[in-house]
Amino acid sequence: MARRSRGRPPGDASSGGLPQAFDAITFGPERTLNLRAHLPTRSEALARTEAWLREKQMGGADEVLVITGRGVGSVDGVSIVREAVLQLLASLRRRNVLQGFREHTAGSFVVELAPVHALFTAPRRRREPPPPPPPDPRTLAGLDAETRSLLRTLATVRLQQLGVHSPTKAIVEDEMLGQYGALARSIPEGPEREARLQQAVIVALEELDG
């Protein structure tokens, strides 16, 4: 369980000094996204932040730190990146990627990630466009046998928790597709995609068994 951040002095987490040193100990480089260090555009910041947060959720992380900067030198002293990331965090919370978030300093946010299995539940609000449809069912046939086995176990455990203790083959396969669709949206394309999918299923199983 990640240690909570409390009693931090005000200021920008990226400005150096004691706050930065404390953050380095609490979060470390693996759980810190420092947007300020790369000066991204608004669109680049949004894309990078969402991809990074989804990756950390798939890995089972609890709390992470996102540094946006305070906007010193920006027009009207308002950080475009900070405001964009703030809107993104609210959106990801509604989509069950996040449990919550809070301002850590004037230039950073502590983000509490939702467990992987939260992706299987309906969004908290429906003001946004609906998510893309689940992948074509035929894609399951293209997965490794180990991946299909993990998905089947996850589907069975999930159905049992929902009170379905003797599901038919069709019900299990339908649940497998649902779980696969929810997880696949958060895993980028690439040569390691299936390995990441397997890891995400294992994390979800650990969460449900816990």
> CATH number for the domain including 41?
3.30.1370.110
Specify whether 187 is located in the same domain as 147: yes
pLDDT (0 to 100) of residue 33: 95
Report yes or no on 123 lying in a domain.
no
Instruction: Please answer whether residues 68 and 79 qualify as being in contact, where contact means their C-beta atoms are separated by less than 8 angstroms.
Output: yes
Task: Please compute, for residue 76, the number of CA atoms within 13 A of its CA located in the half-sphere on the CB side.
Answer: 4
Domain membership of residue 49 as a residue range:
18-114
Instruction: Decide if 119 is inside a domain.
Output: no
Judgement on whether residues 98 and 47 belong to the same structural domain of the protein: yes
Residues 98 and 29 in one domain: yes
What is the count of structural domains for the chain? 2
Residue type at position 25? I
Total number of residues shown for the chain: 210
What's the pTM value of the predicted model, to 2 decimals? 0.64
Residues 102 and 186 in one domain: no
Question: Looking at per-residue confidence, does 55 or 4 come out higher?
Answer: 55
Alpha-carbon gap, residue 100 to 64, rounded angstroms: 11
Q: Are residues 156 and 78 in the same domain?
A: no
Residue 152 contacts by C-beta under 8 Å, 6 or more apart in sequence?
Answer: 172, 176
Q: How many other CB atoms sit within 10 Å of the CB of residue 87?
A: 11
Mean pLDDT score of the chain, rounded to an integer? 80
